[in-house]
């Protein structure tokens, strides 16, 4: 079905499409909410998707989780922000172990109704699955790990164009212009196909997956010539940040004394996943393994965790407590849909 257009007092006005996922009605469809920003800019902020007090509580829960490693980290003592006192967190703020993907705070955020609701609106279905992705723990002024250099990229295979994936994160602490975090190339999602036609012979930056494309300096210059600007997205505790996987992006480290904590949340229709992928996802859930942002468990992250150059004895395969899910939360694992297929 295409978007409906009517004429009011001689003016053409596009109406909210009645069905279909985002982009299925072109980029001139009008929804009157964050979806308009996604269409036009390739990113959006859903304000207050999580109540501020709850977002701050989730941040506190993450601090407690860090303190419970008993490595000496104390949220009230900035001198303890050091790799000797923390689990392994890389220079981009990614924590890729310790079953953090299945911790209480991670699952609680994934089950926040307005977070899920935003993705329901984008895909026009309640039958969604969610990624078992990571948490970003960005402390300011870290001198104990290497600097965070920009890595502008798309999380989508150039050979598979079109809107395929909406990425998201729930921001848990105040996040102003210099507090680090997501930076996006505004509007460049719409230039993606043209870009890759121009750069198809270019030598690509290496990646472990074809679903990642890194922009070279020439590529970045092309985007600049086309008038695209890089925008640091600002957010309050509880805001949901969304971006089209085609939108070039990376993250910045804080230049202030403000830390950044956020939980990645990415949902897609269960109908986009194959049976085999749902089986992989079931295994990942039952074994509390991490995935990347792809909710169809395209990639399961199961790497050894090194800390200070050695296998970290503090790594663990299970979260502190068994995963607590609502009925809806369980559907987000994909398992009930797999059982229906049996
Ligand atoms: Fe990314």
Residue 8 lies in a domain: no
- Residue 244 CA to ligand 1 center (angstroms) comes to 10
CATH number for the domain that contains residue 333: 2.60.120.620
Residue with tokens 């699952």: 107
pLDDT at 5: 40
Residues with CB under 5 A from ligand 1 (ion): 155
- Residue 64 CA to ligand 1 center (angstroms) comes to 27
Residue 287 lies in a domain: yes
Would residue 195 be called left, alpha or beta, if left means φ above 0 and alpha means ψ between -120 and 50 degrees?
alpha
Residue 16 lies in a domain: no
pLDDT at 264: 98
Residue 6 lies in a domain: no
Residue 103 lies in a domain: yes
Q: Distance between CA atoms of 318 and 27, rounded to whole angstroms?
A: 43
pLDDT at 308: 84
pLDDT at 15: 64
Q: Where are the beta strands (DSSP E) in the chain?
A: 5-8, 11-14, 43-46, 94-95, 128-130, 135-138, 153-154, 166-171, 181-185, 213-214, 230-232, 240-244, 249-252, 260-264, 267-269, 290-291, 300-301, 306-307, 310-311
State the burial class of residue 208 (Cβ atoms within 10 Å of its Cβ: 0-12, 13-18, 19+).
exposed
- Residue 132 CA to ligand 1 center (angstroms) comes to 15
Task: Tokens for 36, please give them.
Answer: 């308009």
- Residue 155 CA to ligand 1 center (angstroms) comes to 5
Domain containing 77 equals 32-341
- Residue 233 CA to ligand 1 center (angstroms) comes to 14
What is the total count of domains within the chain? 1
Task: Tokens for 11, please give them.
Answer: 């003016």
State the burial class of residue 3 (Cβ atoms within 10 Å of its Cβ: 0-12, 13-18, 19+).
middle
Residue 136 lies in a domain: yes
- Residue 5 CA to ligand 1 center (angstroms) comes to 35
Nearest to 133 by CA among 91, 102, 93, 112: 102
Residue 275 lies in a domain: yes
Count helices and strands (H / E) in the chain: 9, 19
Residue 27 lies in a domain: no
Residues written for the chain: 342
- Residue 168 CA to ligand 1 center (angstroms) comes to 10
* pLDDT by 10-residue block (mean), the chain, 342 residues: 40 66 93 97 98 98 98 97 97 96 98 98 97 97 93 96 97 98 98 97 93 96 97 98 98 96 98 96 98 94 91 97 97 96 82
- Residue 234 CA to ligand 1 center (angstroms) comes to 17
């Amino acid at each position: 079905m295409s978007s409906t257009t009517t004429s009011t007092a001689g003016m053409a006005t596009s109406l909210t499409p009645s069905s279909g996922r985002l982009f299925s009605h072109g980029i001139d469809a009008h929804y009157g909410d964050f979806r308009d920003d996604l269409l036009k800019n390739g990113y959006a902020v859903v304000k207050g998707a999580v109540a501020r007090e709850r977002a701050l509580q989730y941040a506190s829960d993450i601090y407690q989780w860090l303190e419970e490693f008993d490595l000496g980290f104390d949220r009230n003592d900035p001198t303890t922000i050091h790799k000797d006192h923390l689990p392994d967190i890389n220079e981009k703020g990614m924590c890729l172990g310790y079953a953090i993907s299945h911790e209480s705070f991670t699952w609680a955020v994934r089950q926040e109704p307005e977070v899920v609701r935003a993705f329901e609106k984008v895909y026009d279905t309640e039958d969604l699955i969610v990624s078992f992705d990571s948490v970003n723990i960005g402390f300011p002024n870290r001198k104990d790990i290497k600097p965070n250099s920009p890595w502008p990229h798309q999380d989508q295979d150039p050979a598979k164009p079109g809107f395929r994936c909406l990425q998201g994160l729930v921001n848990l602490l105040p996040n102003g212009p210099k507090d680090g975090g997501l930076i996006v190339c505004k509007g460049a999602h719409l230039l993606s196909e043209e870009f890759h036609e121009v750069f198809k012979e270019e030598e690509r930056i290496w990646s472990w997956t074809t679903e990642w494309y890194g922009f070279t300096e020439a590529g970045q210059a092309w985007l600049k010539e086309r008038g695209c600007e890089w925008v640091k997205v600002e957010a309050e505790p509880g805001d949901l940040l969304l971006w089209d996987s085609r939108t070039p992006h990376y993250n910045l480290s804080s230049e202030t004394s403000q830390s950044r904590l956020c939980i990645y949340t990415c949902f897609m229709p269960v109908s986009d996943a194959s049976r085999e992928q749902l089986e992989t996802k079931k295994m990942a859930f039952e074994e509390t393994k991490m995935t990347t942002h792809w909710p169809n468990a395209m990639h399961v992250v199961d790497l050894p965790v090194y800390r200070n150059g050695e296998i970290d004895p503090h790594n663990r395969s299970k979260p502190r407590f068994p995963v607590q899910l609502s009925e809806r939360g369980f559907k987000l694992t994909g398992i009930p849909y797999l059982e229906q297929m049996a």
